Amino acid sequence: MLRINRVRTRGRYSAKVLHVEKMLNTLHRFWLHVLLLHALMANISGEDCFSNQKLPDRLSFLGTKLDLSHCNITRLHTTTFQKYLNLQVLDLSYNALEELDFSVFQFHTVLQKLDISHNKLRTINCTTLQYIRGVTHLNMSYNHFETTFLCKEFATLRNLKHLGLNVTKIERYDFMSIAHQKLETVFLGLEYLQQYESGSLQLLNSKMLHVVLPQTLTDSALLLYDDFNITTTLEISNIQCEETCNDMIRHINMVIQKSKVSKLILSNIKMSWPEISKILQISWRSTVEHLSIYMFILVKEFDYLHIDFSEGSLKSLTIENVIPQVFLHGSYKHPLNIFSEMFVENLTISNAEITHLPCPPRPNIFRSLILSNNKITDEIFAQCVTLANIQFLSFQNNILDRLSYVTSMTSTMKSLKHLDVSGNRLYCDFSTRCEWSQSLLVLNISRNKITDSIFNCLPPNLEVLDLSNNQLSSVNKEIGNLKALKELYLSLNQLSHIPDCSHLSKNLMYLNIDENLIHSPSKEQLTNCQNVEKILAGKNKYQCNCELKPFIGTAEILHENLIGWPQSFMCEYPEELKGVILRDFYPSEISCNVFILIGIIVGTLVVLLIIMFFLCKHFDLPWYIRMIFQWLRRKYKVRNSYHDEIMTGKRFHAFISYSQEDSEWVKNSLIPNLEKGDNSIKICHHERDFIPGKTIVENIINCIEKSFKSIFVLSPNFIQSEWCHYELYFAQHSLFGKNSDNLILILLDSIPQYLIPNKYSKLKAIMKHRTYMEWPKEKGKHGLFWANLREAIQTNNPLEGEEVSLFN
C-alpha cells in the first residue's frame, strides 16, 4: 500500500515537472517571439520564419549577413532593419514583396549585396534608390515589373557591378541610366519578352552578359543581332529546339560571329548532334576561345560526322551535365571519335554518361582532358601513344578497377604531370611490372580501394600524393623512395600509427592523417615529424591514458605545425572520456607514475604495520587472539572428541586447587563468576564441599575424582604451597590418562621459571607444553576471560543423576 502511494506521488511529481517544463518552453518560445518581433519583424508581415523556427538560426550570424529568403514577407517598413547597421548581405529572395521603398535601408550605408529576386514587385520607388547607393550586387530578377523601371536614379548606384533583371519589354533607351557604368555581370531574364527595340542592349557595358532567351524567338530575336558591348563572356540560356532549330542556330551563329567575346556559354539547351556541331564549327574559327555547353539534352541520333576540327581559335571545350536521349547509329566509327579528333587544348566531357573515349588517331594537342563523372572503364587509352602532350588527366568519379591498367596507360604520356583517378574502384593488382609516367608530379587516388602494396609502385618524382579514403593500414618504408614528395594525404584510412617521418622525404611540408585509427601515438613519432610544416592528425581514435601524456606534451610544443590542435584532437577511449579534447585530459600523476604508485603501496603497508604495532602494544591484541584461538579450539574439540570414557560418578564440573594466598581471588572472583546464577557449572570447593570425618587428602582425592575437570590457579604462591603439589599430582594422575583436556591452568600471576624448584619438573613440563589461561589485569578483558574459562569447563558430559546420558 505504502509502495503504491509512493509511486503515485512520484507520478504526480513528474507530471508537475513536465508541466513546469512545458510552461518554461512556452515562455521561452514566447520570449523569443517577443525578442524577434522587436528585433526585426515588428513590421514584417509573414509568419513563416517564426513558425518553422528558421529565424533563430539565421539570427545567429547577425552582423553582416542575413538570409530571409522563403519567409513569406509581404512588406518592409522603415524601422525593419534599423537594428542591423552592419548588414552587408541581405537575401530577401522568394518572398511576397509587392512594393519596395529603399528608404528602409537608409541606415545601412555598408549594405553591399541585396537580393530581392523572386518576389511580386511591380514598381520600385526610384527616389529612394539613393539609400542603397553603396550596393555592388543588386538582383531584382523574377519580379512582376511591367514597364521600364531602370529609372534615371539608377545612375546613383555608382558601385554597382552585378545586376540581375527580368523584363517583358525593352525599349531603345531603357538602359540609358546605367550606360556609363562599367559592370561585371548582367543577368537578363527574357523568358517572357514580348517586345524588343533593336539596339537597346548595345547600351549595356559589362564584362559578362547572361541572357535567358524567350520561349519563342520571333521579333525579339532581333536582340541577338545587337552588337553587344560585352567584353569577355556571353552566356545564352534556354535554347530549346523541338522540331527544327535552323532559325535558332542561325541566330546563335550570328551572335558568335558578331560578338567579340572570348568565352561563350550555352546552357539549358536541347539539341541534336548535327545542330550542336554546327555551332561548334562556327566557334572553331571565331573570337571564342572557350566554349562551355552545360545542361544539355542531346536528342535524336548521335552519329559520327566527319568535321574538320583541326587547329582553330578554340582552346577549350567543356561539355557538362549531358542528358543523352539518343540512339547510337551503327556507323563505321563510334561518334565519340569526333572528340578524339578535335584539336583543342583542353577538353572536358563531364557527367555525360560516356563509357570511353577513343585514342586520338593522330598525335594530339590535348593538354588537359577531364572525363570526370562518367562511366569510364579500364580499357580507356590502352596502348595509346598519341597523348604525349597531355599534362592533366582526370577520371574522377568513374568506374576504373585495376590500378595496373591505369599505370601502364600513363606510361606513354610523357608530359603527364597531374593524374586524378579519385572516386573510382581501383585496387592494387601489381604482380611484377609497375610502370608509371616518370613525369607525374601530382597523383590523386583518393576514394578507391587501395591497400598497402601501393607503396611498392608509385611514380618516383611525385610531389603530391593523395591516398585519402582508401584501405591503407600502414605506411611502408618504400615511400622513402619518393624523394621529392611535398604533400601526402592519408586521411580516412585505417592507419594505427603516425607514419615514421624519418623515412619520408625531407621536402615533406604537408601530412594529412586525419580520421584514421591512430590510438596511442608516441612522442617520438611526432617529434620525428617536426620538420613537416603542416600536420593534420585530428579525428583519430585517441586512447586517453597515461601513455598518451608524452604525446600531448609534445603536441603542445609543436602546436604551430599541428593544424586543428587542440579542437579536433579528442579522446575516443575510454568511453567516459569520449569527446574530451586531448589538451584538457589530465591523468592524475599517481596513476601514471610507477614509482609513486609503489611508494604509496609501501607507505600504506608501513602505516598499517605501525597501527598493528600500536594496537598490540596498547590493547594487548595477542592476548585477545590467543583467547579466541583457545576458545575456538575448544569448541572444535568438544564437537569432535569422541567420548569413550566412562563418565560415571561425576558430580562436579570442576575442582579448584589454589594456594591459600590466592583464596581471596578464588572465592570472590572465580567461584562467583563460574557458578553464576543458572547453576550451569558446579564447582567442588574443598572448603565448602568437604565431607567431614575424612582426611584432607581423602577429601581432595574425592573431590578430584568427582569432577570432570581440575582447575589450578597458578601463581608464585602456588609453587610455594606443598598441598597444591599434591593436588596437582593427583589430578594429573587421575585425569591425564583419560583426557588430558581435563586440566585447566590459570596463571594468576606470572611465575618466573627459576622460581619453580627442580623437583617439580612435572609442573615445569606442564607449563611448557600445555596452554594456560592468563588472568588479565585489565578490567575490560575480564569478560572474555570468564567466557573462555566457562567454555573450557563446560563439557558435554552430563553430571550423574541429571539428564539421560548416552554413555551410561
Ligand X SMILES: *[C@@H]1O[C@H](CO)[C@@H](O)[C@H](O)[C@H]1NC(C)=O
> Where along the sequence are the contacts to ligand X (CB under 6 A)?
315-316, 345-346, 367-368, 391-392, 396, 420, 422-423, 444, 446-447, 464, 466, 489
Task: Name the residue nearer to ligand X (CB basis): 410 or 422.
Answer: 422
In the complex, least distance from residue 510 CB atom to ligand X, rounded to whole angstroms: 9
Distant-in-sequence, close-in-space partners of 124: CB < 8 Å, separation ≥ 6:
99, 100, 102, 140, 149
Helical segments of 37-172, H only: 48-51, 55-59
Distant-in-sequence, close-in-space partners of 258: CB < 8 Å, separation ≥ 6:
225, 227
Task: Name the residue nearer to ligand X (CB basis): 264 or 271.
Answer: 264
Task: Name the residue nearer to ligand X (CB basis): 226 or 466.
Answer: 466
| Residue linked to cell 592524475 | 588
In the complex, least distance from residue 347 CB atom to ligand X, rounded to whole angstroms: 9
CB 652 within 8 A of CB 706: yes
3-class SS at 341?
coil
Amino acid identity, position 205 = N
Q: Which whole-number Å values give the CA distances from 41 to 66, 93, 224, 526, in the listed order?
A: 13, 16, 45, 54
In the complex, least distance from residue 362 CB atom to ligand X, rounded to whole angstroms: 20
Task: Name the residue nearer to ligand X (CB basis): 149 or 392.
Answer: 392
DSSP annotation of 104: G
| Residue linked to cell 569526333 | 338
Task: Name the residue nearer to ligand X (CB basis): 43 or 351.
Answer: 351
In the complex, least distance from residue 354 CB atom to ligand X, rounded to whole angstroms: 19
| Cis amide prior to 574 (ω within 30 degrees) | yes
| Residue linked to cell 553582416 | 64
Of 387, 295, 380, whose CA–CA distance to 347 is shortest? Answer: 387
In the complex, least distance from residue 482 CB atom to ligand X, rounded to whole angstroms: 14
Task: Name the residue nearer to ligand X (CB basis): 113 or 315.
Answer: 315
Element (H, E) at 325: strand 316-328
In the complex, least distance from residue 490 CB atom to ligand X, rounded to whole angstroms: 11
**Phi, psi of 670, deg, nearest 5:** -65, -60
Task: Name the residue nearer to ligand X (CB basis): 404 or 444.
Answer: 444
Please tell me the chain's helix, strand, coil percentages from 3-state DSSP, rounded to the nearest 5.
35, 20, 45
**Phi, psi of 118, deg, nearest 5:** 55, 50
Give the C-alpha separation, 522 to 529, whole Å. 12
Give the C-alpha separation, 262 to 628, whole Å. 110
3-class SS at 15?
helix
Q: Which whole-number Å values give the CA distances from 274 to 224, 299, 303, 364, 490, in the listed order?
A: 22, 10, 8, 24, 47
In the complex, least distance from residue 417 CB atom to ligand X, rounded to whole angstroms: 8
CB 370 within 8 A of CB 347: yes
Give the C-alpha separation, 198 to 220, whole Å. 8
Task: Name the residue nearer to ligand X (CB basis): 189 or 423.
Answer: 423
**Phi, psi of 647, deg, nearest 5:** -100, 65
Give the C-alpha separation, 791 to 739, whole Å. 16
In the complex, least distance from residue 344 CB atom to ligand X, rounded to whole angstroms: 9
In the complex, least distance from residue 460 CB atom to ligand X, rounded to whole angstroms: 18
In the complex, least distance from residue 443 CB atom to ligand X, rounded to whole angstroms: 9
In the complex, least distance from residue 418 CB atom to ligand X, rounded to whole angstroms: 7
DSSP annotation of 460: T
Task: Name the residue nearer to ligand X (CB basis): 41 or 314.
Answer: 314
CB 62 within 8 A of CB 35: no
3-class SS at 25?
helix
In the complex, least distance from residue 276 CB atom to ligand X, rounded to whole angstroms: 20
Question: For the residues of 500-554, what is the DSSP string, one character each?
Answer: -GGGS-TT--EEE-TTS---S--HHHHHHTTT-SEEE--S--EE-SGGGHHHHHH
Task: Name the residue nearer to ligand X (CB basis): 118 or 447.
Answer: 447
Task: Name the residue nearer to ligand X (CB basis): 340 or 394.
Answer: 394
Pairing of strands 137-139, 162-166: parallel
Task: Name the residue nearer to ligand X (CB basis): 259 or 446.
Answer: 446
Cα 267 to chain centroid distance, Å, stands at 43
Amino acid identity, position 204 = L
Cα 583 to chain centroid distance, Å, stands at 15
Task: Name the residue nearer to ligand X (CB basis): 224 or 490.
Answer: 490
* Positions of E strands within 660-795: 683-684, 707-714, 743-747, 773-774
In the complex, least distance from residue 464 CB atom to ligand X, rounded to whole angstroms: 5
Task: Name the residue nearer to ligand X (CB basis): 128 or 507.
Answer: 507
In the complex, least distance from residue 381 CB atom to ligand X, rounded to whole angstroms: 17
Task: Name the residue nearer to ligand X (CB basis): 292 or 702.
Answer: 292
Task: Name the residue nearer to ligand X (CB basis): 452 or 466.
Answer: 466
Task: Name the residue nearer to ligand X (CB basis): 116 or 393.
Answer: 393
Task: Name the residue nearer to ligand X (CB basis): 104 or 288.
Answer: 288
In the complex, least distance from residue 132 CB atom to ligand X, rounded to whole angstroms: 37
In the complex, least distance from residue 225 CB atom to ligand X, rounded to whole angstroms: 29
3-class SS at 271?
strand
**Phi, psi of 189, deg, nearest 5:** -85, 110
572: left (phi over 0), alpha (psi -120 to 50) or beta: alpha
All cell numbers assigned to 571: 579522446
In the complex, least distance from residue 447 CB atom to ligand X, rounded to whole angstroms: 6
Residues in the chain: 808
Give the C-alpha separation, 588 to 597, whole Å. 11
In the complex, least distance from residue 521 CB atom to ligand X, rounded to whole angstroms: 23
